[in-house]
Structures are given as C-alpha cells and as structure tokens.
Amino acid sequence: MFSITSNHLLSVPKSPGLYHQQSLEKHSLRWREKKSITIRCCYRKRGVEAKTADYYKLLGVSVDSNPQEIKEAYRKLQKKHHPDIAGQKGHEYTIMLNEAYHVLMAEDLRRNYDASIGRAGLGKDFSGLGYSSWKGPLRSQALFVDENSCIGCKECVHHAGNTFMMDDTLGCARVKVQFGDEDKQIEVSLDSCPVNCIHWVDREELPVLEFLIRPRPREAYGVFSGGWERPSNVFVAAKSFHKQLKRQDHQQHQRTAQGAGDEETTAQVKARARASIKLRMEQLSRLWSWMTDISG
C-alpha cells in the first residue's frame, strides 16, 4: 500500500525528489553522493530495500564502514549542506543526513536497520562457496591474495604457476588452486611478493574473503549506473559480513523454531513496527516537502 502513495506523489510534476535534484545540482556537488541524492527521486523499489542504499549512500560510506568513517563523512557533508552554509535550501537534505547519522551511529538502530534491509548490499549473491579449488586434502590454512594491494607483478605466478593465476582484466593475481604447487615453491612465491599481499587465512574464512574481494556492480539508481566497487579493507569487511550472516541465521532459526510465524518475538514485532513507522515517516516527509513545494 505504500507503493501506491509514492507512485501517486511521484506522478506530481514537481515531486520532492525532482526538487532535490535541481537544488543540489545548482549547488555544485563534487562528491559522488550526487548520485545518492537522486535515490529519492528514483524511489521505485518498494519499501525497505530501496531505503537501504539511502543511509549508507547518502553519507557516501560503505556498508561495512566504522563509526569513525561515518562521523567524518557526516561532518564533511554537513559542512556543505547545513542551512548555516547552504541557506534554507539545505534544510531537507540536512534532515536526511541527521536521520541517517542517527541510525548508523547507534549500534542497536543500525543493527535493526541492517536487518530490515536483509542481505541487500553485500551478501545478496553470496553462495558460501569459495572461488579457488583444492589440490590434495583440505588444510586448516589457505592462501588468499588481497587484490586491493596486489600490484600485478606476476612474481607469484612465475614461482608457483599451478597455484596462482593472473586476472588480466583486473590486473592482479589470484589463487586458482590451493596448494597447486609444492610447499617450497609456494613459500618462495610468498617471499617474492614485493607488497606482501599474499596472506595465510583460516580455511573457514576463505569463501567470504574470496567473495568480498571480487568487484561487484555498485547498486545503480535510475540513469546513473553505479560502476564497480569492493571493500577497501577486505579483512574488516569479512568480519562484519560474518556477523551479519550469523545474525540472519539466528533470526532465521528463531523464526522457524516458532513455527510458521504469527508469533514473532517482541523484538521482531518492534523492529517491524519501527520499519513501518519509518515508511510512514518518509511518506509524510515527502508529503510535507511536496506541499511546501507547491505552496512556495
């Protein structure tokens, strides 16, 4: 039922989203958040999923960013858009920034928010399987190339060609087969890496790391295609990703344990109620800016 409203509102010629786009364009935004602002005018997807991107993208931070990064991004954006600096036209945008900041900085709110957006973002297409295959028995440790640091020198491929391979499109090395060569050769290839981007990792972590290091298309909105991205620190990202997975499993577990679900936990009911209030809020906020827009 919410989608009806938003469609209705968007069919109004001077929709709030359009208004934002114009006002901010004038305002010469250099940031890539320029794209994120337009999210609101392309509010097509129903409900929560479309909102996901809002908060993280609005602040221009990645889904795995820490509070410090969020804080810095928020302050930078505030310095551009706060009404003290941008004038009254910064009002709407600053309110959105404040809301995003408030949610992402409070641990519990951010958790609920992340939960409400589900696996969107990072984990959507995570299969649980790694990229590399194994030669011989599984070992507790595995090899992993941090492609963010790899400079594409091919030293490792040269020393252990059955284990490492070169990805020519991305210009970096990758593990093709775990322990594809003799241990000695692998050791030499590790030593030969000038930037130390080959890491020993736990076998259990490998699939997530390999999944995360692959560049994925950034969420695209409207006419703006998003480009490609990957987390800047894959190890930190893996940690938060694990946490997310665990939480989801836990929730899944709770839900199934309680049968086919009219009895939710109070926490879940609360979270859903909050999500629903959020939606209503957006609805009214749009209504508000639409009305002020047409009246003045």
- Positions touching another protein (CB under 8 A) are 1-2, 4-5, 8, 71-72, 75, 78-79, 82-85, 87-88, 90-91, 94-95, 98, 101-102, 269, 272-273, 276-277, 280-281, 283-285, 287-288, 291
Which of 5/149 has CB closer to another protein?
A: 5
Q: Give, to the nearest 10 degrees, the angle between helix 266-295 and helix 2-11.
A: 20
Q: Give the nearest distance from C-beta 264 to another protein in angstroms.
A: 10
Q: Could you tell me the smallest distance in angstroms from the CB atom of residue 38 to another protein? A: 21
Q: Compute the least distance from the CB of residue 70 to another protein, in Å.
A: 13
- For another protein, the closer of residues 7 and 141 by Cβ is 7
Q: Which is nearer to another protein, 59 or 166 (CB)?
A: 59
Beta strands 177-178 and 133-134: pairing type? parallel
Residue placing its CB nearer to another protein in the complex, 80 or 176: 80
Phi, psi of 104 (to 5 degrees): -75, -20
CA 33 to CA 24: how far, in whole Å?
11
CB closer to another protein out of 239 and 274 = 274
Q: Which of 95, 220 has the CB closer to another protein?
A: 95
- What Rg, from alpha-carbon coordinates, does the chain have? 23
Return the C-alpha torsion angle 113, 115, 118, 120, nearest 10. 40
Could you say which DSSP state residue 143 is in?
A: E
Name 94's Cβ contacts closer than 8 Å, sequence gap at least 6. Answer: 78, 81, 82, 83
Q: How far is CA 35 from the centre of its chain?
A: 15
Minimum CB separation of residue 283 from another protein in Å reads 8
CB of 165 to another protein, least distance (A): 40
Closest to another protein by CB, 151 or 284: 284
Alpha-carbon gap, residue 234 to 241, rounded angstroms: 10
Query: Does residue 212 contact residue 230 with C-beta atoms inside 8 Å?
Result: yes
**Least separation, in Å, of the C-beta of 25 and another protein?**
20
The nearest distance, CB 119 to another protein, in angstroms, is: 18
- DSSP letter string, 171-198: TEEEESEET-S-HHHHHHHHHH-TT--E
